[in-house]
Structure 1
Amino acid sequence: MPLVLVPSARWERWVDNFVAGHGGADLAVSDGALRGVAEDGSDFTAHLPFATSYDGPAEPGAFAAAVVAPGTWGVLLVRKGGFAVARLAGGDLAEHKIGQRHVQGRTKAGGQSQQRFARRRDNQARQAYEAAADHAARILSGVRVVVTGGDHAAVDAVLADPRLARLTVVEPWLAVPDPRRAVLDRAVTDAQAIRVEVTNA
């Protein structure tokens, strides 16, 4: 089922386009989400960000108005090539750190050389994750809710740090390239978007 991230400012237009494109639709609130079922059998289910449950009227404008960022929250992006961690106050970036690390690529050499390269690559990755965890523990101090992305194994390795055990990870998972400032900025925007699962008949 395709997942679409829609900023709250564009939500009413998105619903209008869905309704127009599918010959009309009925909207209803179900299980904390807004659901739309079109006359042609297509449907969507929209979820508020930050694991927020919705119990208001089945109206696009009211649903969009319910998108409110927590007072303090975080973003954690990790890949083998680097990391980005940010603390936000509402929708504003309060503090962040972006780091790049060189991690040895795979080698075509065989035997002992391949094993030596593999050990070096694993050590470099572990050091990169430890550095990311150090910055995350500092920047995300006092944060409870965090949106993550990058490489699943890398994020799991960083979150395994006991200092980060208090964090609650919420959707969406952000599939991002090696973190840079532009990647972090986009991730902050996507983290606050309405998550829409769409099924087209």
Structure 2
Amino acid sequence: MVKARPAAGGGRWVQISPERIRGWLDGFYRRHDGATEQGLVLTGVSNGDTATLYPPPGLADAKDVDTLLARIIRPPRIAVLLARKGAVAAGVADGTTITVSKVERFYVQGRTAAGGSSQQRYARRRANQAQAATQRAADIAARIMLPHAPGVVADPHDAISALVCGGDRLMIDAVLTDRRLSPLALLRHPHLLESAEPRLAVLEDAAVTARRIRVHLMP
């Protein structure tokens, strides 16, 4: 499927499923009376419009369109980590199939309107609960994803090639500071997925979204 949204600084982003990328590229060529290719950047002949393709996680070594099209036929194994204040979901995906996963909810107290010492007491309690949730999320990530990391799994061909994260960036950052997760942190993809409250269905949707090719269109 193709999804579009405005891009900061101009142009727009579209996300294209691997099954539709060839057809989309054919359409770009047709609409622009042909195009020139330089790596992963297409420039329309008729008006100079550009399309810059960003490979999905695990395919960063695809540096031109032909290589990208060849590689997306067999999507790499990736890990997916979704986290928000009240929940975490961790899983390993082969293509769009989650093969192993864990979802857990946490209780983190909401903010209070009380003032004075009560407010301070609630703030401390809330901070302690948030810290405990982050630690529990790191434990889950280590148990579910770490056995599939490069250098840990016995067969290198079975190792995950990227870590895709989504949800609350600050919580994700905090989780990945855990030293146990350093092999995964090295594989972190820079694009943060938008995510609803983590649960299994959301994790499965994230595995599908992560496979899409992101394209920046200008103008």
Q: Same fold (TM over 0.5)?
A: yes
More strand by share: 1
* 1:133-189 C-alpha deviation (Å, 9 max, x unpaired): 111101112324211111111001111111101111014311212112221111101
Of residues 24, 38, 61, the one that matches 2:33 is 24
Unaligned runs of 5+ in 2: 1-6, 151-161
Change (3 A) 1:63 1:24: farther
Q: CA 1:128–1:52 in structure 2 vs 1: closer, same or farther (change >3 Å)?
A: same
**Which stretch shifts more, 112-121 or 152-161?**
112-121
Alignment of 1:1-201 (within 5 A): 1=7, 2-21=12-31, 23-30=32-39, 34-38=40-44, 39-49=46-56, 50-55=58-63, 58=65, 63-67=68-72, 68-70=74-76, 72-140=77-145, 141-144=147-150, 145-167=162-184, 168-200=187-219
Matched residue of 2:135: which SS?
helix
CA distance 1:133–1:41, shift in 2 (3 Å): same
Identity %: 36
Give the superposed CA RMSD. 2.1
Maintained 8 Å contact 1:75/1:86: yes
Deviation of residue 17 (structure 1)?
Answer: 3.7
CA contact (8 A) 1:48 1:66 kept: no
CA distance in 1, matches of 2:132, 2:20: 41
Query: In terms of mean alpha carbon deviation, does 162-171 or 37-46 score higher?
Result: 37-46
Any stretches of 5+ residues in structure 1 without a counterpart? none
TM-score, normalised via structure 1 length: 0.85
Q: Give, as a single letter, the amino acid of the residue that structure 2 aligns with 1:43.
A: T
Post-superposition CA distance 1:43-72 (Å, at most 9, x none): 11102222422245x55xx633321433x4
CA distance in 2, matches of 1:114, 1:25: 64
Q: SS where residue 195 of structure 2 aligns?
A: coil
* Mapped partners of 1:25, 1:114: distance in 2: 64
Write the distance in 1 (CA, Å) between the matches of 2:53 and 2:90: 27
Q: CA deviation at 1:14?
A: 2.2
Greater displacement, 173-182 / 10-19: 10-19
